[in-house]
Each structure stands twice: as structure tokens, then as C-alpha cells.
Amino acid sequence: MFDLAAYIAEKNKHVNRSLVSAFRDVDASGRIVAAMQYSLMAGGKRLRPILCLAANEAVGGKETEALPAACALEMIHTYSLIHDDLPAMDNDDLRRGKPTCHVAFDEATAILAGDALLTLAFQILSATPMRSEKHSRKWLEIIHTVSTAAGYRGMIEGQMLDILSEGKTLSLTQLESMHKLKTGALIQASLQCGVIIGGGTSAQMAALEVYARNIGLAFQVTDDILNIEGDPQVMGKAAGTDALRNKITYPALLGLEESKAFAQDLVRNALKALEDFDRRSDPLRALSKYIIERHR
């Protein structure tokens, strides 16, 4: 039986160690660095890095080679949270049980810390070891994959659509399109990066893209369900906020039970996409179930 908790704990340790070492040679007294580290080390689930490492493993890649991409993905995710939490956006004071970056520091510092994390991601993806003759092409492809997913036709467009949809009614299709961009694009890129680094085949890439689309959506549906049923203590943030804000969610459109069934369907699709993979994809199998069974 595959032990997902131990797997996540181990990968978390490796990712955190790499994230810390990204700042190794830096004067830690700087305000920007302090704000970057504050948000980066605030206890995130590290879902995107773990998906990247697990995809890399599923196609036979080495973990050490995928770690820089795993770190870059977490930096981009963290920057997006810092900016989304700003008063001009979602105006959230609490994230993972701690004051958000602009509350702990100030708005200007939070904007700059987000900018700096996004920029540092690309600095890491283009660092010296990646520039060997053999690997350059692969890493350029990774940079293109990540920047496309994080950009104005991916994650950023998703956040814009989310803001523009406030107070409006959305159809199920519109809700799905928004989430595919806002959270789905970077989750998909995480898996794609793992496949590229591990040297997966194009059939493996196609299969893991199907997996990614399904777990990405399942992740969002579960987030919506947790916002209703979750324990604020465990989640580190308030529950019931979506209803208060009149936010369109899956439970609001489908009902709570139907939403849970939908999330399970999505996980079934994700598992089906892994059919042709061997035991090395067990972490991906376990992760797909974890995504809808988690409590935070």
C-alpha cells in the first residue's frame, strides 16, 4: 500500500530545502527578501512542486533534476497568492492561518515581493546548471510552458475573469473556463514540466495533461466544498466566505452532494488517464484521491 503521507512529507522536505537554498547567498536583512520568505515559508501544501516531482518520477526522471522547476512553480504560485490577497483584489487578511503579506509588511512591499518571486522563478529556471549544451533546450521549453501557463492567457486571465465575475451569475461552463485558467493552467504546467524534465514520451505527456485537467478541476470543486464544510482551524482561513461574497461556486450551481459526486468523477477520469503507467505513477494516483479528500 502506497504511503502518501510519508511521500508528501519527504517531498515537502526536499522542496523546502531547495527553496531555502535559493536565498542562501543573500543578505537576509533586506525587507524584500524577508517578505518573499515570509510568504514562501508560510506553510503551503506544495501541491504544484509535488505534482511536478511525481510526474517526473512517473516517466522515469530523477528528482534532483526536477527540483529547480518544482521551486519555481511554488514561487509563482506564492506570488499569485500575495497579489490576489491585496486590498485592490480579494482583500484577504488571513492566509494559511497567518496575516497575509501586505498585512504583515505593507502593500508596496507585498506588490514588490510578488514581483520578485515571479522574477526569481525565471532566474532559477535559467541558472547555470540548466545552461549546459545538453539541457538548454529542455529548460527553455520549461520556461515557455511555465510563462505561458502563468500569463495573460492563463493564470492571470483567470484572476481577471474571477474579479470581473463578482456579483454576476456564471453558467457552469463559464465557471469551469475561469477555473481552468485561474488554477488549472499552473497545475497542468507543473505536470508538463515534470514530463519534460524526465524525458517522457508524447503519449505520456498527453495522458498526464488529461490527468492534470481533471485533478485541477477536482481541486477547485473541493476548495468550494471546503469553503462550506471545512474546519477554519484546519484550513487556516475562514469558512463560508464564498456565500458571504455571493461568489459563484460549484455547490451553489450544482448543490453540495452533486458537487462531491462531480469531484469523484473527475478523480476517476484522472486515474483512467494513468492506466498505461507502471507503479512509478502510484504517487500521482494517490495524489488524485488526496486532492478531494483533504481537509485544507
- Give me 202's grid cell: 508524447
Q: Find the shortest distance in angstroms from Cβ 47 to its own copies.
A: 20
Interface with its own copies, residue 119, by CB under 8 A: yes
> Minimal distance in Å, beta carbon 67 to its own copies?
17
Task: Give the interface segment with its own copies, choosing from 145-153, 202-210, 234-242, 281-289 (CB under 8 A).
Answer: 145-153
Using rule CB under 8 A, residue 143 touches its own copies? yes
Rank residues 127 and 234 by Cβ distance to its own copies and give the closer one. Answer: 127
Q: How far apart are CA 289 and CA 41, in angstroms?
A: 25
Residue 83 contacts its own copies per CB under 8 A: yes
Using CB under 8 A as the criterion, what x/- string covers residues 88-117 for binding its own copies? xx----------------xxxx-xx-xxx-
- Listed in sequence order, the residues at least 6 apart from 35 whose beta carbon sits closer than 8 Å to its beta carbon are 101, 104, 105, 109, 110, 112, 113
Cell matching residue 270? 484522472
Measured from the CB of residue 143, what is the shortest distance to its own copies in angstroms? 4
C-alpha cell, 268 = 476517476
- Cα gap 116→32, rounded to integer Å: 8
Give me the helix-helix angle, 4-21 and 63-85, nearest 10°. 80
Quick check: helix, strand or coil at residue 215? helix
Nearer to its own copies, 106 or 229 (CB): 106
125 contacts its own copies (rule: CB under 8 A): yes
SS3 220: helix
CA 35 – CA 99 distance, rounded (Å): 12
Minimum distance of its own copies from residue 53's CB (angstroms): 22
Applying CB under 8 A, the span of 149-157, 184-192, 239-247, 283-291 interacting with its own copies comes to: 149-157
Amino acid type, 79: Y
- State which residue, 36 or 235, has the beta carbon closest to its own copies: 36
Q: Enter the DSSP assignment of 181.
A: I
Q: Among 114, 143, 266, which Cα is nearest to 106's?
A: 114
* Residue corresponding to grid cell 488549472: 184
Is residue 30 at the binding interface for its own copies, with CB under 8 A as the rule? yes
DSSP codes joined into one string, 112-147:
HHHHHHHHHHHHHHTSGGGGSTTTHHHHHHHHHHHH
Distance CA 42, CA 10 (A): 18
Interacting stretch for its own copies, rule CB under 8 A, among 46-54, 141-149, 202-210, 276-284? Answer: 141-149
- Residue 283 C-beta: closest distance to its own copies, Å: 28
Nearest residue (CB) to its own copies, 150 versus 284: 150
Which of the ranges 56-64, 130-138, 208-216, 244-252 carries the binding residues for its own copies, by CB under 8 A? 130-138
Is the distance from CB of 113 to CB of 40 less than 8 angstroms? no
Binding site for its own copies (CB under 8 A): 26, 30-33, 36, 79, 83, 86, 88-89, 106-109, 111-112, 114-116, 118-120, 122-123, 125-128, 130-131, 133, 136-137, 139-141, 143-144, 147-148, 150-153, 156-157, 159-160, 163-164
